[in-house]
Structure 1
């Protein structure tokens, strides 16, 4: 069941087993065992890496949630996010970029307040 869900999502995203294993940072042979149901009890660490890479949840992979997160995510956002990942953007880079945007927004607000106070 888990292996089937992983294989279906992988194929839906157009990923080879090699590419999924590389992106998720897992062993291709272990992934193959899971997909073929040779190994039926993968670790939570493995499931977490695979779920993140396939834009889904551990619960979905385990069959506890029938809503696939990749279907909920807007397609344009999914494309942009995948493009950034393919170009080497890490989670840390993304978090740093978010912090920069927050700082920039804060700075613009502060400059606006300073500007208004000078007008009085």
Structure 2
């Protein structure tokens, strides 16, 4: 799924595979393997680089909903309180959201493989 999303957005933006890989500072063959779903477990860093080159949010490539959409209101408030109590600064939250979305994507992939 992530490979298809990357390929679709890349083509929509008019970027060749070579140009996208070059801008993301990854090999063309590696990006090609991701797009063809031969590499189904790219790192958070790689996905982040590709998202930046394509000018999209990390979640767009993963095809996931935002954390806000996944948690009911009271759970969201508890989650924010826990983060605040742990000493995480507001500026650091985007880094953590990215990791959460990546873990969610991996779990969905594992669940699909089981069915």
Name the TM-score, length of structure 1 as normaliser.
0.53
* 1:4-23 superposed matches below 5 A: 4-23=4-23
4+ runs of 1 displaced by more than 4 Å? none
Q: Give, in whole Å, the separation in 2 of the partners of 1:65 and 1:17.
A: 26
* 1:38-49 superposed matches below 5 A: 38-49=38-49
**Equivalence for 2:58:** 58
Offset, 1:24 = 1.0
Offset, 1:27 = 1.1
Offset, 1:50 = 0.2
Q: Give, in whole Å, the separation in 2 of the partners of 1:57 and 1:46.
A: 13
Q: Give, in whole Å, the separation in 2 of the partners of 1:33 and 1:16.
A: 15
1:37 aligned to 2:40? no
- Aligned residue pairs, count: 66
Offset, 1:5 = 0.3
Offset, 1:15 = 0.6
State the structure with more CA Rg: 1
Structure with the larger RCO, 1 or 2 (CA within 8 Å, 6+ apart): 2
SS at match of 2:42: coil
